[in-house]
Amino acid sequence: MKTQRDIHQQKWIRHFEKNRQHRPEPDWDAPFHMEEKKRRALAWSLAEYQLGDGGGPCCLIARDAESYRQSSHHTQMVTDLWFREEAEHSRLLSGAVKRLRGTFVTDTFAFRQFQRVRRFMGAQFEMLVLLQVEIISTVYYRMIRKHCGDEPIAAMCGLILRDETGHVSYHRDRLCQDHPGGWNLWQRLWFYFLGYACAAVLWLGHGRALRTIGMRNGDFAAQVHRGLRSFVRSVQRRTTGQVPARSPLAAERKPLPVS
Ligand SMILES: [Fe+2]
Ligand SMILES: [Fe+2]
């Protein structure tokens, strides 16, 4: 007999299979014009992202990753399909790095520390951290698309954003299944804490490049906050039928009904 989890995973397997269709390749050979300072900033930032977004080990690497992955046939399929899209992001980013005449990055201190954190805590924690990275990366790719001024790179961002939107929704479904009563205050605070920590790491590494290409101060933090808040609110709405107030602490005192 099919469980709710099987039904949920089958839905996402169908999504990932369908999402392979209608993916026009960015026109990497289109004429290229970009101010030198901007080209260097973008090339550097996207080369680092190429390593982080599917360019390293493209699978779960937590100590219990294999036992999670093999917990069912559907879990294995959906996890592999998710990471197949991550590998595709790395391939697309390689196209952008070549177009920008950038230098590929194969290792950084931040990347090594990130791998260490992923290995250390277990598959559930690793997936939570990867979800945070996906929410923060959505902000990053939106900024690149808005400010790059290059059609093929903007098209690449569009493809990656389409996938990442699916990944964030997949995790939301998964977490709602695992927490049918919603998240308590501490779980929500933990989620925000991890999200802001990931955002701070990204900002330290890429903030300068993003400012160089034209992003205004404050845009990044505002969008990160909106992304995290919208995720928490959607989890609570789906599980409890109630939407937390803007502050997680206020939400604990007075949950709002769904309008
Ligand atoms: Fe990705
Ligand atoms: Fe992703």
Per-residue confidence (pLDDT) for residue 246, from 0 to 100: 57
Ligand 1 centre and the CA of 112: distance in Å?
Answer: 18
Query: Ligand 2 mean position to 140 CA, how many Å?
Result: 13
> What pLDDT was estimated at residue 254?
44
> Which ligand is located closest to the Cα atom of residue 160?
1
Fold of the domain spanning 33-257: Ferritin (1.20.1260)
What is residue 245's predicted lDDT score, i.e. its pLDDT?
58
What does the alpha-carbon distance between residue 64 and residue 120 come to, in Å, rounded to a whole number? Answer: 10
Measure 190 CA to ligand 1 centroid, in angstroms.
23
51 vs 254 pLDDT, higher one = 51
pLDDT tens, residue by residue, 238-253? 999 877 655 544 444 4
Give the model's pLDDT for residue 244. Answer: 64
- Mean pLDDT of all residues in the chain? 92
CB 50 within 8 Å of CB 88: no
Ligand nearest to the CA of 88: 1
pLDDT tier for residue 49 given thresholds of 50, 70 and 90? very high
Residues in the chain, total:
259
C-beta neighbour count of 214 within 10 angstroms: 14
Ligand nearest to the CA of 53: 1
Q: What percent of the chain lies above the pLDDT cut of 90?
A: 86
Residues with CB under 5 A from ligand 2 (ion): 134, 164, 167
pTM across the whole model: 0.91
Tokens 């920008």 identify what position? Answer: 100
152, 96 contact by CB (below 8 A): yes
* pLDDT reading at 29 higher than 50: yes
- How many angstroms separate the alpha carbon of residue 152 from the centre of ligand 1? 18
Domain boundaries, the chain: 33-257
Q: How far apart are CA 43 and CA 89, in angstroms?
A: 16
Instruction: Give the tens place of pLDDT for each residue, 164-201.
Output: 999 999 999 999 999 999 999 999 999 999 999 999 99
Q: Is the pLDDT of residue 225 over 90?
A: yes
What pLDDT score was predicted for residue 253? 44
**Whole-number pLDDT of residue 255:** 41
